[in-house]
Amino acid sequence: MKVAINTLPLKSAHKYRGIGYYTVNLLESLKQETSMDVSEFTKLTDVKDVDIIHYPWFDLFFHTLPIRRYFPTIVTIHDLIPLVFPNHYPVGLKGKLNFILQKIALSSCKYIITDSNTSKQDIVKFLKIKNERISVISLAADPKFRVLNNDTKLLHIKRQYHLPERFLLYVGDANRVKNLPFLIEGYRELLKIPGYLDLKLVLVGGVFLKHVENIDHPELESLKLVNKLIKQYGLDENIIRPGQIEDGELVAFYNLATLYVQPSIYEGFGLPILQAFASGTPVIASNKGSLPEIGGQAAVYFDPVDIRQFTIIAKELLEDPSLLNKLSKLGLKRSTQFSWKRVARETESIYLKALKNE
């Protein structure tokens, strides 16, 4: 079977986001399957003699999916967050027109792949796609995310980034659904507890080093509020912002963290909690979106608008090493249920169904 994967996301800013991560790992895992001949393309006119075309992303407001079909086509839709929270993601006339074109193009695709049942429900609801045309294939953490036993490497990273003995960790973006102002408020409440002044908060992501105060853009409002709260509460010395770091270093961050926190008000998947699980890091997460679906019984959940609940849960865990150890073991066990080899095999099965017109 000859499969062509559109790699346009790797030529844009998506390369450093979840879509780029998915595209790279999907390509690598599919190429390891001997039953497939996998090629890459960015222009449809360059594609010749293939059985299946796969677009590993779907942009709601840019016309990225061709309407005319030359080959059976599969598309991956990771989430529909802009449709779930339309007030947070205003689009102009051009975006609305592109949305219409994208829905038309989507109607003739053989199958749609998505990351979670939560996203599948959103696709059915907002795009009016039938259940049977949508397949859920969960993502996985890269194998490099694991428990590190190399004390020298961990010590090197700890010294290089001035990491303390205990800290809360967050990895990712700072858009509105990530709910980071809530995390800052919750962290501030923890610092008020006697004996907690040594607890630091580490925010990993290039976005946290950007100067956005004078940029007027709706997607930057949450980050602006985060920066404002940090300054207002005098937390600059308490919060560590290393910027964008390489995965090899990020593994060490997870290993060194006391707790990983995912406070999002919504997620289509939530890859960082899998990275944390695979690294043996205890996880507390929001109970919204797909996070409980992905985390299962291996994480502790909180209401992402209830700061008091978050504080109580975090305090209980931070003061009980046995609970932290239990969560670490549960996370490691949970992480074994997700692998890119499984992603490749389940994706291949969708290709075969498309070819058989099932």
The answer on 254 and 329 residing in a single domain is yes
Query: Do 196 and 306 belong to one domain?
Result: yes
CA geometry: angle at 238 spanning 232 and 244, to 5°? 100
Q: Is residue 297 part of a domain?
A: yes
Domain co-membership, 91 together with 209? no
The whole-model pTM stands at: 0.94
pLDDT for 218 equals 67
Which domain covers residue 175, as residue numbers? 151-335
203 plus 320 within the same structural domain = yes
Closest residue by Cα to residue 29 from 8, 11, 57, 56: 56
pLDDT of 221 = 85
Please report whether residue 259 resides in a domain.
yes
Same domain, 90 and 226: no
Position 214 scores a pLDDT of 66
- For residue 38, which amino acid is it? V
pLDDT for position 270: 93
CATH number for the domain that contains residue 279: 3.40.50.2000
Chain segment 261-292, per-residue pLDDT in tens? 999 999 999 999 999 999 999 999 999 999 99
pLDDT at residue 146, as a whole number: 96
> What residue ranges of the chain have pLDDT lower than 70?
214, 217-218, 358
Residue 87 sits in the same domain as residue 187: no
**Helices 340-355 and 18-31 sit at what angle, rounded to 10 degrees?**
80
Q: Is residue 273 part of a domain?
A: yes
| SS3 at position 299 | coil
Q: Which DSSP letter does residue 322 get?
A: H
pLDDT score at 15: 78
Q: Which residue has the tokens 């080093």?
A: 209
What are the structure tokens assigned to 183, written together?
């995390």
**How far is residue 330 CA from its own chain's centroid?**
20
Residue 271 lies in a domain: yes
Note whether 343 and 298 are same-domain residues.
Answer: no
Q: In the chain, how many domains are there? A: 2
Does one domain contain both 167 and 135?
no
Any idea what DSSP says for residue 32? T
* Longest CA span, the chain: 68
Q: How far apart are CA 112 and CA 123, in angstroms?
A: 9
